[in-house]
Amino acid sequence: MNFKGFPQEGIDFLRNLAANNDREWFKAHRSEYEELVLEPALELVTALGEEVAAAFPPITYSTSGNSGSLMRLNRDTRFSTDKTPYKTHVAMMFVPEGRPKMGAPGFGLQITTNYAELIVGQFVFDKHQLERYREAVLSDTSGPALVDAASLVAKTGNYPLGGKALKRVPQGYDQEHPRSEWLKYKGLHVFAPTISLAVAATPKLIDVAMGHFRLMAPIWSWLIKYVN
């Protein structure tokens, strides 16, 4: 699909949604959302998804409903003090087919009202993934491979790691292990420098995103091989 860029009108809609984040306002402006935000977002899913799927099998993409690559606009407010019903950004995640968007290592893009962001990896591991991750950290094969992957990504640019959630090494693990710091992670992902909305408004966004994805991919490759 020929992606023309995410339009300024879509950003303006998201800003208006942030200022009028209620169901009645959205209902009255739903057709604008579908034209200015949803349609270009699905075009982006297809254009970027094709590139990611070709470069990083078994990644796939989908434009179908809530099970597709595009994140839902509706917020889950059940456990949040913020009860506003809608997200004010556009987000998508590309993961292997059949896997939940937030439950497998993947490649993600988010467009906010200020810039576009990229992420590679997985935000949070489930219980079984966390066990496999910690086993992989301690392994004499996969553990050094993780250190090498992180070092390779760090050498290529400003790509900070995320997912470190614990202040101490988990109970029952060797505090003095040479890779004990990696045991403090409960997810593992890497961020790219933000992308300007001026770039996001053009087809160039695809090439810029893929350039970053390729440099961040060693973290994804390690997760796919040893954790998922």
Mind listing the pLDDT tens digit for each residue in 190-215? Answer: 999 999 999 999 999 999 999 999 99
Q: Dig out the tokens for 90 from the structure.
A: 């556009």
Query: Looking at residue 35, which CATH number applies to its domain?
Result: 3.30.930.20
Is position 1 within any domain?
A: no
Domain that holds residue 68: 8-226
Residue 83 lies in a domain: yes
Q: Is residue 115 part of a domain?
A: yes
Give exposure, 86-100, as e/b (b: 16+ Cβ within 10 Å). bbbbbbbbbbbeebe
| First-to-final CA distance of the chain | 30
Total tally of structural domains belonging to the chain: 1
Assigned domain for 40 exists: yes
Residue 179 lies in a domain: yes
Residues 138-177: tens digit of each pLDDT? 999 999 999 999 999 999 999 999 999 999 999 999 999 9
- Which pair of tokens denotes residue 205? 């966004």
183 three-class SS = helix
Residue 164 inside a domain? The answer is: yes
- Looking at residue 1, its pLDDT comes to 56
> Do 124 and 100 meet the contact criterion of CB atoms below 8 Å apart?
no
- Rounded to the nearest angstrom, the gap between the alpha carbon of residue 74 and the centroid of all alpha carbons in its chain is 17
Q: Supply the pTM of this predicted model.
A: 0.95
Per the domain annotation, does 217 fall within a domain?
yes
- Which tokens belong to 210? 């893929």
The DSSP output letter for 58 is T
Distance CA 207, CA 71 (A): 22
